[in-house]
Amino acid sequence: MAPNDGQDGTPPAWFTTALAHEPDVGRVECNGCEINFLTWGPAGAPGLVFIHGGAAHAHWWSHLVPHLANHYRVAALDLSGHGDSGRREEYLLHDWADEVLAVAGAADMATEPVVIGHSMGGFVSIGTAARHGDQLRGIIILDSPVAAPDPETEAARRGNIFGPLKVYPDVETALSRFRTVPEQDHYLPYVMDHVGRNSLRTIDGGVSWKYDPEIFIPARSEPRVLLPQVGCRVALFRAEHGLVTPEIGEYMYDLLGRIAPVVEIPEAGHHLMLDQPLLLLTALRTLLADWEHSSPITSWGGG
């Protein structure tokens, strides 16, 4: 009998194995706000810190990153205003960058972790590297288009997606309304169900989403200003059907001095952990293995 590949909607073994590896839950205070985070893997191992996108949370990674936990101490955090972390009166990029470093320090990992951020989280990884690059081994930016606002913030400012949180009578009704921004053509249904269920909290009258709508309101430093200030290794992953077009990828490559690899994840939409998680996992493993055994290029001698 052929192994289950999940095409019929039944969760395959890689997915159930990942979820069986339950994370430890931690809390750390940062700039007056409590930050929730999840960890996998042996204490003291080289560290990886995963940052979700806007309105998302740490469990966007929990079906994927346990497969890295044999060799790494892995942490995934809820940025303030997201998931089970506290809320702030105002959400600033430098606070989110500080939260990443606070989690790395509290997660019992080796010094100088690699930070991996998706979409808005990619911009947070850029801010972290611009602010704390000497404390990082590198950052990996996942389909974060440095040329335009992140899609969640842009949708919020247009007022057509994010707004006052709706209350649903039960979990199943809420899940029927679960959408990503931007939407894409393909998702793995068992991954979407897992992520959606972890996006909800119980409140008076039913259930609602965990994020704070205020996260999208303040203006922030433009990532294109911060990207050339990054003080550590960088890699750019773009989804084939995502938001980082080849032209944007080239623009980001130029801003980084043409020394950062740009890796395309084939057949992936913007939310590549929801439709092509195994391709993403393979790309991450390959890049991390290379970084373990190579020295960074510090200049480009193009001709």
pLDDT in tens, the chain (303 residues): 344 555 666 899 999 999 999 999 999 999 999 999 999 999 999 999 999 999 999 999 999 999 999 999 999 999 999 999 999 999 999 999 999 999 999 999 998 999 999 999 999 999 999 999 999 999 999 999 987 556 666 665 555 555 679 999 999 999 999 999 999 999 999 999 999 999 999 999 999 999 999 998 655 567 888 999 998 999 999 999 999 999 999 999 998 988 899 999 999 999 999 999 999 999 999 999 999 988 776 654 443
Residue 17 within a domain: no
pTM of the model: 0.92
E strand or H helix at 81, and its extent? none
CATH of the domain at 50: 3.40.50.1820
Helices 13-20 and 189-197, axial angle in degrees (round to 10): 20
Tally the domains of the chain: 1
What are φ and ψ of residue 256, in 5° steps? -90, 10
Residue 258: alpha-carbon gap to chain centroid? 24
Task: Name the token pair of 90.
Answer: 């105002």
* Single-letter amino acid, residue 216: F
Rounded to 5°, angle at Cα 152 from 132 and 128: 0
Residue 52 within a domain: yes
Are residues 93 and 31 in contact, defined by beta-carbon separation less than 8 angstroms? no
Residue 8 within a domain: no
Residue 300 within a domain: no
Residue 15 within a domain: no
